[in-house]
Amino acid sequence: MEKHWANPDLHLDLNGPRLGASLEDALRSAVRDGRLVPGTRLPASRVLAADLGIARNTVADAYSQLAAEGWLTAKTGAGTWVAGQGPETAPALPGPAPAPPAGVPSPRYDMRSGAGDLSAFPRREWLAAARKALSAVADRALDYPDPRGLPQLREALAGYVARTRGVSTDPGRIVVCAGFAHALALLSHVLRARGATTMAVEVYGHEAHRRIPESNGLRVVALPVDRGGVVADVLTSSFAGALPEGAARGGAGTVGGGAGTVGGGAGTVGGGAGVAAGRAAGWADAVLLTPAHQFPLGVTLQPERRRALVAWAARSGALLIEDDYDGEFRYDRHPVGAMQGLAPDHVVYAGTASKSLAPGLRLGWLAVPRRLAGDVTAAAEIAGGCPDVLSQLTLAEFIASGGYDRQVRQARLACRRRRDRMIAALRQAAPGVRVTGIAAGLHALVELPPGMREDEAVARAARHGLAVQALGAFYRGDRGGHLADRHRPALVVGYARPAGHAFTTALARLCAALADRGGPAD
């Protein structure tokens, strides 16, 4: 929680001979005494100057001096904070920021997953598209938007996902949303309202994507993931009714038996069709999955598992939710088409502009089965939060003009080059690591050298000034399962994130952290 200046208990004594020095002293002692705690945001210099009745430059100079001394942290355009805890810019979604070990400064380099190189966001082109879009539309487009999204954007998106991802849809089945978390909240609400009780997720993934269905009243169970992608036999086999109970339980070795994972056992063999309440373990009304490039393991769902899942969904009436979060970023062969194309009536396809452009745009899209289009639209209307019309018009213009495709091509090429550099550098510096999940995406899994623990690796990277995430931070099964089906210790490395000028150094820090077993080099 941000603490703000409006603190009636804090009095600054400004009676010294020089106002600026007095202010510096007052702030310094307030921090030292704990009256201003780390993370507290200070008012803008003009605001504090007005409050105190002194010149703005006096305040600005005091801030600069204290920042130079390490008491404060200033970020251009963002503000000034009491140091000791970074400014509150760590994204809440999708991944938790790694807590730096005590005594270690905030990392200067960031290879956490979740976003690409934000310095590559095409600011000029985006503003030009906004200007063009806004100058062309009728005034009425500025009214409350259609909760499905503007028609021109839905038309552009329907064409885009069909062309690039093999999604089978039309503008009437597209719902524009504010990123995947918003989409998942809407879908969870719809599922619950239709009587669903359970959503299965991959045992590795974002914790937020577990909390969202849970907060909408769904029970969340976890499915294991192996090299062929998610293992959903417990759903797809048992539901067929063809296997005896013991056979269904045969999956328990990989599935894990504890609470929070899909266990076999009583009630596993479900019958009937449609979404029903109160089913026992072994049933799910919906499955959330990342078929093209599992997050964060990076594996691709095998074709036969895709077919088994869609066949199960068609038989059972369950819904598959395909989070195609980085589907456009495939490097070494043709893109893996969206699973949705196999069964448009049983799969919700979800894409966003978060990886191709920037998460801050909060633009995402769903291609939903026809039977759900009305419910999802109603949920969007009730929940609110659909993107503003200017963002929607700008994206429609950006897609129509070819700017979006160009941006994706450039970002993909840049990511691929970084990936190749990272693999080569790690091979040389740290032969004991193994890099996987590299066929696609903006991140890779870096399996640690034998004997190195994840928390140790994260701490070592932090000592080198680099933020990375442990694979374990994305494990969302139960504790027993954690030990049973946990992957090898690894880091999730978002090689796409550093700005272009910082990548070389960030990569060197990563290599140093994983190679230098003797302790920090700095």
Closest distance to a second copy from the beta carbon of 106 (Å): 12
Closest distance to a second copy from the beta carbon of 242 (Å): 34
Nearest CA among 89, 8, 79, 4 for reference residue 46: 79
121 versus 475: smaller Cβ distance to a second copy: 121
Closest distance to a second copy from the beta carbon of 275 (Å): 19
Distance from the first to the final alpha carbon of the chain: 32
328 versus 397: smaller Cβ distance to a second copy: 397
CB atoms within 10 A of CB 201: 26
152 versus 268: smaller Cβ distance to a second copy: 152
Angle between helices 233-240 and 303-316 (to 10 degrees): 50
375 versus 455: smaller Cβ distance to a second copy: 375
Nearest CA among 336, 48, 330, 363 for reference residue 165: 336
Distance CA 270, CA 316 (A): 9
Task: Report CA-CA distances (Å) from 507 to 326, 435, 453.
Answer: 22, 14, 20
Closest distance to a second copy from the beta carbon of 46 (Å): 10
Closest distance to a second copy from the beta carbon of 107 (Å): 13
What DSSP designation does 277 have? Answer: S
57 versus 215: smaller Cβ distance to a second copy: 215
Closest distance to a second copy from the beta carbon of 123 (Å): 5
40 versus 290: smaller Cβ distance to a second copy: 40
Distance CA 481, CA 475 (A): 10
What pairing do the DSSP bridges indicate for beta strands 219-223 and 198-202? parallel
Nearest CA among 452, 462, 469 for reference residue 522: 462
70 versus 217: smaller Cβ distance to a second copy: 217
161 versus 235: smaller Cβ distance to a second copy: 161
Distance CA 83, CA 342 (A): 53
Question: No. of H helices and E strands in the chain?
Answer: 17, 18
228 versus 385: smaller Cβ distance to a second copy: 385
Query: Which stretches does DSSP call E strand in 317-467?
Result: 319-323, 347-352, 364-367, 434-436, 444-447, 466-467
Which helix (H) or strand (E) is 492 found in, with range? strand 490-493
CB atoms within 10 A of CB 244: 11
183 versus 248: smaller Cβ distance to a second copy: 183
Task: Report CA-CA distances (Å) from 167 to 285, 450, 512.
Answer: 22, 42, 43
Distance CA 192, CA 222 (A): 18
Residue count of the chain, please give it: 522
Burial of 5 (0-12, 13-18, 19+ CB in 10 A): middle
Is residue 329 a contact partner of residue 414, using CB atoms and an 8 Å limit? no
305 versus 362: smaller Cβ distance to a second copy: 362
Residues 6 or more apart whose Cβ sits within 8 Å of residue 249: 264, 265, 268
For 362-388, letters b (16+ CB in 10 Å) and e give bbbbbbbbeebbebbbebbeeeeebbe
345 versus 381: smaller Cβ distance to a second copy: 381
